[in-house]
Amino acid sequence: MNNDVVNNSTELDTLAQASDRSFAAPTEHSLNAKSRVFSQLVEESSEDQKRKKLPSVFQHTDYREYLSEFFAVKKELSPAYSASAFVRRAGLGANSRGYLKLVIDGKRNLTPATVRAFSEALGLTSQESLYFENLVHFNQSEKAQDRKYYFERLLVASQGVRSKKLLVLESQYQLMNHWYIMAIRELVAIEQFVEDPSWIVRALKGGLSTLEVEQALKALMSLGLVTRDPQTRKLKQNEGLMEVLPHEFSPFLVNFHLGMIERAKEAIRDDDFSLRTAMGITLSCPKEKMPEIKKMIDEFSAQLLEKFGTLQTGIDSVIQVNFQAFHLTNPRIHQNRKEPKNV
């Protein structure tokens, strides 16, 4: 017999035996292992799907609304989920079971420590945690300068993932943070208006730069406060009158008013009396009358807008009318006030 044939036959037998071992019936152990792996993959896929359905913190400008939506969606995806489960994951202890609801309802604020704990319970990434932290401080800060500081940090934290809500708020921030943006909006309505940054710089007081004017026009367009006429292609106001509600823009209105007060100081100092007026009333009255004073000022400003802000022809100037009402006495004099004793 040919040795080559014998050797080939032996090799074939060896390959056949190896093939039999490769296609041998799986053992119970191997089946259980594969089942566990498959179950794990299915579970991970299910968890990924659930995470995708959770709200994104970047879509919110109010952290309490975000927490409320997060909890509602989490509860819908997992009916067994509870505020206690959230608190446990945050590591806050059993005594804090009602803390989440108190925060959502605005009855409690988050501290630096609980902000970190909530970020953990929410499963936030590093960028999301940074946004959430600054959003909390932005919402909770009482001083306008603090809110301005944290809002600017929100813009940094949301780079690349900025929501439409935040973009609108950013435009509002630009609108109210700079006195000249509203002035340029009104300037658009005058008959002599020229859509040229250099012309606008010359037309307005205050020493503006062409860059500031260009940014202002961009902000006005993005907010829809100025639009382009489809026939003439010229800029025009989208609405004749615009009212800004203080509570909506309170973080940013401070700089707006300070800027206009600076313009008032310049007018009082430099302008002829025929082009401006200035008056003030100093009076003593019960502090409880301040809301009534504010109401009278609001009503008068509404009358001015209604009478002069709706004119359609002969518009050739932009005029600023300021109202300020404030206490000259220190609020502390009302604390622990004692009635004088009769002698």
**Where is mean pLDDT largest: 116-120, 232-236, 242-246?**
116-120
Tokens of 45: 């896929």
Q: Residue 343 pLDDT > 50, yes or no?
A: no
Instruction: Give the CATH number of domain 51-158; options: 2.60.40, 1.10.10, 1.10.260, 1.10.3470.
Output: 1.10.260
Task: Kindly report, residue by residue over 140-185, the tens digit of the pLDDT.
Answer: 998 878 888 999 999 999 999 988 888 878 877 777 788 999 999 9
CA distances (Å), origin 323, targets 105, 134, 151, 300, 309: 35, 33, 27, 10, 17
- CA quadruple 121, 126, 130, 131: dihedral sign: negative
Model confidence, pTM: 0.61
Task: Kindly report, residue by residue over 290-334, the tens digit of the pLDDT.
Answer: 999 999 999 999 999 889 987 888 899 999 999 999 999 997 777
Tokens of 154: 């929100």
Residue 56, number of CB atoms within 10 A of its CB: 14
